Amino acid sequence: MKYSIIILFFLLVFNNYAQPVKVNENYYSAKDEFTNDIFNWQYIQLPYPFNITDIFFKDSLYGWASHEGNGVFRTTDSGFNWDTSKFGTNNHIGGVHFIDRYTGWTVGVGGKIRKTINGGINWKIQDYEPYAGYYNKVHFFNSDTGVVIGSKNGPYGYIIKTTNSGNNWSEIFISNQIYTELKDQYWLNSDSGWLCGSNILLKTTNGGTNFINYYTNIPPTQNGSNALLGIDFVNENTGWICGSNLEHRNIYKTTNAGLNWYFQNNPVASYEYAQVNDIKFINSDSGWAGSFVGIILFTSNGGSNWLIDLSANDEFWSLCNYKNSKIWSGGAHGKIWYTLINPPIGVISNKNQIPLEYHLFQNYPNPFNPSTTIKYDISNYAQVTFKIYDILGKEIYSSNEFKKAGRYEFEFNGSNFASGLYFYKLETGEFKQVKKMVLIK
C-alpha cells in the first residue's frame, strides 16, 4: 500500500483554543513491566497524566487521541511522537473522529463540540445550545453529515445530527427515561447504526429518523441496570456489547441482529470490578476487549473463548482498529498502547541489536519455494519504505512506516505468485538499495 506525506500549512483565522505543544515520547516494551500472553503490546508514555478516552487513526501515520485533560493528542509518524492541543476550559474530551488527515471533530463535557480543518493544530467552536450534560462520541459519514451522542439535562440519553459539517445541529433523540446516558455508537453505513449506554440499546435503519430500543432483549440483571460502554458489529447480524453490571456479565454477543444477546464468559468477569470499557473485532472471529482492571482480552473464535492478551498496571479505556493491521488502546495516566496484528509478510524486529549502518541483505534461501526471508538493518529512527516488484515492474507489496533502529526481517510468501525474477527495494531518506530474488515452483 502506498502512503504519501502531504504537508499543508493552513493560514486560516479560527477561534484558536489550541496551540500545538511538542511531546517528547517515551517508548516502552520491557517485559518486566507488563505481561504479554499473545501479542507483543508496547506503549508510549506521554507527559500528561490523563486517561485516554478515544483514539482514531485515519491512515498508518496520522492519528488522534482525546483525553480527560481537556485536549487532543496528535501523531503524524505512526504514534512514535505526539503533539497536544488543549482547550480553554477544564472539562474533559470524550470522543474524536476525522474524515481525512485535516478535517475532524472532538466532543466533550458541557456540550463541547470542536472542529479542525488543519489536522488538529487549530480548533473552531461548533457547540449546539449550552446545556448540562455530556457529549461522549462523535461520528461523521462524510464532510457534511455527522452524529454526536451523550446525555442532556443530567443522565437522559441524547443524540444530535448535522448535515452541514457541524455549522448547525438538530436534536434527533432524547430519552424519556433517567439514567440512559449514551456511551458509544457503531454505524454499518449512514442509515444503519447501533448506539448503547446506561440501560439503553438503540438501533436505527434510517439514519436516525427513528430509533428502536433493544435493551429488553439483553438478559435482565438483578437490579435491572446494565451499563453498556462499548459496541461493535462485523455485519448486520453479528455484534458485541460490553460494560458492567452486578452479575459481572460484561460481554454480550448477538448473531441475529440484536433480537437475542447472550453472555460470553471471560477472565475479567471473575474480578470484583469486572468492567469492560471497549470492544473491537477485525472479523467474525478475532477481537479484543479492554477492561478497567488492567487486562486486554483476545478471542480467536468470536468470543466463545476469551484469553488474557495483556496484563498491566493500567486501565484500558478505549480501543481502535486500523485496517486490521494494528490495534491501539487508550490507557490511564497518559499511556497509549498498541500491537501489530499478523503483518502481511511476517515482520520480525530486533530492536536490541543496533546496527552501525543501513544494509539490505540478500534473501535466503534464494532461489526459493514458496517462502524466503529478507533482512535489513536500520541504523537510525527513520521513515522506511520497503517494496517488492515482479519482472514487469508491477508493485506486489509496499510498506511505509517509521521504524526505530534495529534489525528487521520479512518472511515473503510467494504461494500466490508465479515463478520468475522479483526485485525488492529498501529506501529511507539517506539510503536506497535494490536486490533480486528468484521464485521457482
pLDDT at 272: 93
Q: What is the CATH number of domain 347-439?
A: 2.60.40.2550
Rounded to the nearest integer, the mean pLDDT of the chain is 85
CA atoms within 13 A on the CB side of 421: 6
Select, from the ranges 108-112, 144-148, 310-314, 339-343, the one with the highest average predicted confidence (pLDDT). 144-148
- Please state the rounded mean pLDDT for residues 281-292: 93
What is the β-pairing status of strands 287-291 and 276-281? antiparallel
CA Rg value for the chain: 23
Rounded CA-CA distance 274/269 in Å is: 5
Tell me the sheet residues that pair with 368: 439
Residues 142, 135: contact at Cβ < 8 Å? no
CATH topology of domain 21-340: Methylamine Dehydrogenase; Chain H (2.130.10)
pLDDT at 250: 97
Percentage of the chain beyond pLDDT 90 is: 57
Nearest to 77 by CA among 54, 50, 59: 59
pLDDT at 81: 86
Which residues of the chain form CATH 2.130.10.10?
A: 21-340
- Please state the rounded mean pLDDT for residues 271-299: 94
Q: Which three cell numbers stand for residue 251?
A: 460481554
pTM over 0.85: no
- Is the pLDDT at 96 greater than 60? The verdict is yes
User: In 117-155, which ranges are E strands?
Assistant: 124-125, 133-140, 146-152
pLDDT at 381: 80
Rounded CA-CA distance 359/378 in Å is: 7
Which residues of the chain form CATH 2.60.40.2550?
A: 347-439
Q: What angle do CA 54, 58, 60 make, to 5 degrees?
A: 110
* Residue 190 CA from chain centroid, whole number: 20
- Is the pLDDT at 346 greater than 60? The verdict is no
Residues 74, 63: contact at Cβ < 8 Å? yes
Residues 166, 135: contact at Cβ < 8 Å? no
- Is the pLDDT at 4 greater than 80? The verdict is no
pLDDT at 314: 94
